[in-house]
Amino acid sequence: MRKGIDLFAGPGGLSLGLIGAGFEMVGAVEWDPHAGRTYRHNIGDHVYVRDLREFGPRDMERALKKERSIRSKYDIDLISGGPPCPGFSLIGRSKISNLIQTGQWEGSDSRHRFIDDQRNDLFREFVKYVGHFKPRYFLMENVSGMTSYKSGEDSSIVDVIVSEFENLGYRVKVRLLLASEFGVPQDRKRIIFLGWKKGQCEPDFPVGSDRRITAAEAIQDLPQVDPGTGRSTSEKLKRMADIPRRGSPGYSFLQRVRGASTPLTKPTVGRRVTLHHTRKVNPRDVGIFPLIESGEFGERVLYKDVYPERLSEVILPDGYEHSTVDGNPVVVGTKSGDDRSWKWYNPTKFGDKMRRIRGDRPAPTIVAHLAKDGYMFIHPYEDRTITVREAARFQSFPDSFDLSAGGAVPISSQFRQVGNAVPPILAEALGSCLLKAMGTD
């Protein structure tokens, strides 16, 4: 069996997909303890919770030899991973651009150049691993925003990265892939680097399909959630016999995620639903969410379209009312002993902060910001933000994958992990192409 190492492994989405394709993942590195715990709980003990800058390739080689996973560093056929590059993402650019404008950013003006963020240099740690182990192939994944960036010498960042690998004797091909074309119910666009040593067979990219799985199809069997508690109203999934359009891509997707296992966890029995929880909806949002529209059934309505022009239409639950503090509108509690209040976001800065997911299309890109709030991911038809299980479905994780690691990981980290992960189904498609190339070289 072909052996691989997963760097910046997160909870293990990339590893899970590669294992599904037929790889044996013998080593993984992840710096976040929660994500590392999730990886260990679902995939295996071969994950090292370390900062990759302090756990180099020689450390990994020694560890793998000690565990008798390899006899030689040349036993590694694949190095894979997605170096975190927050400056390349749209959210990262917006945040740093604001720091520049307020004089809090000490780096260069990054709007047309590579952001001076040391985390964006982590891909060089990936390069070090490739240079040391000299695997036959490598797979590197990153955000699509990388394609529009320039380095300090006005070179394309993509070209800079490619040249790093070419200097090691690898050939490289690069392509933007849309996850929804490969069976993932999410329009997640990622740049993929496939590399192979000279003399090895050139790998192909997987071929996509125009048969998309919609957000509604991906979560249609999940029970409703009480917005007041953020908890599921039932412990059971719907019966597959009650799911419409048997044989459709959406039906097949549900069969897969409900029935698939991970290396260390099995599918739940009795249609039991897990991790179907989210944050409870506060009184202010109880009034706002019903007015937010995705555009699936008419005109799209965002937060800026509700506040302040339609403030009179925001109907609050009993015990709460509209008021003002220092001249600014707020929602306050009127019951004895309830001194809580909820401010309104500035619509000129946070106009699109609240968005409802369209049920008739793949979900938008699931992001790690879910750890802070889920306002960009309001349920297609219920007036609440999505649950961990729904986010995991949109990322194509099987229901057997426990992002809580047996209850040890808090919900905020569960959201962060799933937002940072590589969709396992996309990873499996890529892994299958790599194995095909390995079988013909």
- Other beta carbons within 10 Å of 326: 5
CA-nearest of 291, 280, 286, 289 to 319 is: 286
Q: Is the pLDDT higher at 112 or at 139?
A: 139
> Going by C-beta distance under 8 Å and a sequence separation of 6 or more, which residues neighbour residue 297?
none
244 DSSP 8-state letter: S
Question: What is the distance between the alpha carbons of residues 260 and 238, in angstroms, rounded to a whole number?
Answer: 17
* Residue 296 binned pLDDT confidence (cut-offs 50, 70, 90): very high
Q: Is the pLDDT of residue 124 over 90?
A: no
Return the pLDDT at 174: 97
Burial of 94 (0-12, 13-18, 19+ CB in 10 A): exposed
Return the pLDDT at 147: 72
User: How many residues make up the chain in this entry?
Assistant: 441
Going along the chain from its start, the domains and CATH numbers come out as 3-210+421-438 (3.40.50.150), 283-386 (no CATH)
Q: Is the pLDDT higher at 248 or at 129?
A: 129
Q: Is the peptide bond before 329 cis (omega within 30 degrees of 0)?
A: no
| Unique residue bearing structure tokens 């009993």 | 318
The active-site residue, picked from 85, 115, 273, 411, is: 85
What tokens appear for 50 in the block?
Answer: 């370390």
| Unique residue bearing structure tokens 């106009």 | 351
pLDDT tens-place string over residues 65-104:
999 999 999 999 999 999 886 545 444 444 444 544 555 5
Q: Is the pLDDT of residue 117 over 60?
A: no
CA-nearest of 139, 128, 30 to 77 is: 139
Q: Is the pLDDT of residue 110 over 70?
A: no
| 85 is a catalytic site residue | yes
| Unique residue bearing structure tokens 């944050």 | 279
